[in-house]
Structure 1
Amino acid sequence: MKGLLFTLVLGLLAAGQGDVIDASQFTGKWLTHFIAADNIDKITEGAPFHIFMRYIEFDEENGTIHFHFYIKKNGECIEKYVSGLKKENIYVIDYAGHNEFQVISGDENTLITHNLNVDEDGSETEMVGLFGLSDDVDPNREDEFKNAVREKGIPEENILNFIYNDNCPRE
């Protein structure tokens, strides 16, 4: 266990130096806690990024990423599966336009991500997400998420809490 933790810490330190993160260590079940967007209309109910994550698979060997999540429309949970390809340290995904998805940081319990979406009209939206394994997240990780939100120029009032209204199926 100590060896795994040491490897994770080294990986995060390398990520902080601008090196490539081996995201495969973050493959697994995740729940959406918070998403922030500079265009809040992209993350409100009925919008394409009002997502309730269930599983992310980072396949470093094949350079792919797979998402399993739900979106809510009119209060109904709709299951979605989306895949993308890795190009350098960014995953490119076609979903509600063109997306460039990347891991900012992570540990054994939380994952902080950034997504740049360019929709069909050419409008860009910056998003930062915080995902966790359970319904609770370490306050330090929540602070790190809020710092990432500020770094991307997203107003803090554009942070939406997803975990409290997540009633979609959890496999």
Structure 2
Amino acid sequence: MKTFLLALGFALICASSAFDPAKITGEWRTILKGADNVEKISEYADMRVRLRHLECIDACEKLAITFYVKPNGECQKVSRVATKGPHDVYEAEYAGQNFFRIEYFFNDIIIFYTIHVDGNGKVTHMTNISAKEDRLSEEQKKKFEELTVASKIPKKNIRNIIETDDCPAS
């Protein structure tokens, strides 16, 4: 079933994922996030992830991820290591299984497409744009909106994460 979900989900994405993965290592901030189930990215939800750091391991065959969540209103730091599989899809466990792919990378922004399968088997499709700075240009926002809509996530389901991100910088 996981293979089917991955194939279906990633077939919906039209964007190119050509990038030099080694250049993604560094500090990042989640700016916007979209989901087909907005409850998963609401203020204290488990998938309202506030990205802080990415680090390529073994030529990016693994990706170390550091982020914050606020399940009880208090920032909790989380670290995970994702492993790359076929078609440049990474897999990591956090609040269930997460399968994600870098859909767009350019200089100081990175856009992810994620399929999250929670412990009950419920599937949520998400997009996320993170940046080196705390803001995006209008062009970057438009690119994110286009990729989100192409992922069958309504534009109205995009949430501004940076506006309420009061967790530590690292």
Aligned to 2:168: 169
Aligned to 1:42: 40
CA RMSD of aligned residues (A): 1.6
Q: Which amino acid aligns with 1:118?
A: V
Counterpart contact for 1:150–1:156, Cα < 8 Å: yes
Aligned to 2:108: 109
**What is the CA–CA distance in structure 2 between the aligned matches of 1:124 and 1:22, rounded to whole Å?**
29
- 2:98 is equivalent to residue 99 of structure 1: yes
Moved over 6 A (4+): none
Aligned match of 2:73 in 69, 72, 75? 75
**What is the CA–CA distance in structure 2 between the aligned matches of 1:122 and 1:103, rounded to whole Å?**
23
Q: Which runs of 5+ in 2 are unaligned?
A: 1-14
**What is the CA–CA distance in structure 2 between the aligned matches of 1:21 and 1:134, rounded to whole Å?**
19
Higher relative contact order (CA 8 A, sep 6+): 2
Q: Deviations over 1:69-114 (max 9, x none)?
A: 1101332111111111111211011111111111011111111111
Q: How does 1:1-171 map to 2 (within 5 A)?
A: 16=16, 21-61=19-59, 63-88=61-86, 89-171=88-170
Counterpart contact for 1:57–1:67, Cα < 8 Å: yes
Q: Which amino acid aligns with 2:105?
A: G
Following TM superposition, by how much is the alpha carbon of 1:45 offset from its aligned partner in structure 2, in angstroms? 2.1
Larger-Rg structure = 1
Q: Deviations over 1:31-51 (max 9, x none)?
A: 010000001111112211111
TM-score, normalised to structure 2's length?
0.85
The share of aligned pairs that are identical, in percent, is: 30
Aligned length in residues: 155
